[in-house]
Amino acid sequence: MTDRAGRAAVLVAGATGLVGGALLRRLLATPGGPRVVAVVRRPLEPVSPRPDVVVADFARLERVDLPRAGTAFCALGTTMAKAGSPEAFRAVDLDAVVGFARAARRAGATRFLGVSALGADPRSRVFYNRVKGEAEEALRALGFEGLALVRPSLLLGERPETRPAERAAAAVTRIVPWGLAGPLAKWRPVPADAVAAALLAIAGQPLRGVRVVENDEIHRLAS
């Protein structure tokens, strides 16, 4: 990542969410770190130190001018329950993700690190996994020099809204020995802050071509 002297920004989309918020806090806590620009759909709650903020309509990102960037992080995502319809879900988890990636490319970003999901597959019969896979496929086609697709399992962390599956995952985490080898290990729930830590670990390494980071590796990178 380019430092402030180089003035190339680090872009973060989804900074009002669980993973994006954790990532933003980690970026801002880095002494002498790069300029951080949060691209958001609604104003950020006050944080200190405060990043630069671009409030944008993610359905019209082609109209948004972003500062010159080197690296872009994308943690955009919703749920079917929150979105309310398959079309609204796709608008966030596919269209907004790809729209942000295109805007980042126009701003000069050569590296893109995106939060996808375990099981992402454009040919999946599961709608959620299929949309995530379609987003990955579209990102691969944009020609970033380095692309990391991070695929966490169920996320753990405090959210404003209630998500029954994640509450259940948190309960299971307390009783299942996830550290043991076995078929369940790859499904081990992961704290959002661990995903943020993994993203920064990847960004701190050379990134060329496409790197797919599965849930097990997220845990290793975060530790």
Range(s) of the domain holding residue 12: 4-155+191-215
pLDDT in tens, 76-129: 998 888 888 999 999 999 999 999 999 999 999 999 999 999 999 999 999 999
pLDDT in tens, 118-162: 999 999 999 999 999 999 999 999 999 999 999 999 999 765 555
Residue 64 has pLDDT above 60, yes or no: yes
Q: What is the CATH number of the domain that holds 25?
A: 3.40.50.720
Helical (H) or strand (E) element with 150: strand 146-150
Q: Give the number of domains in the chain.
A: 1
**67 near 9, Cβ under 8 Å?**
yes
Q: How confident is the model at residue 3 (pLDDT cuts 50, 70, 90)?
A: very low
The pLDDT of residue 54 is 93
Own/partner long-range contacts of 80-83 (Cβ < 8 Å, ≥24 apart): 80/127, 80/128, 82/161
**168: pLDDT confidence band, cut at 50, 70 and 90?**
low
172 within some domain? no
Task: Give the residues across from 191 on adjacent strands.
Answer: 156
Query: What are the helix (H) ranges across the chain?
Result: 18-28, 80-83, 86-90, 97-106, 127-140, 164-173, 192-203, 215-222
172 has a pLDDT exceeding 70: no
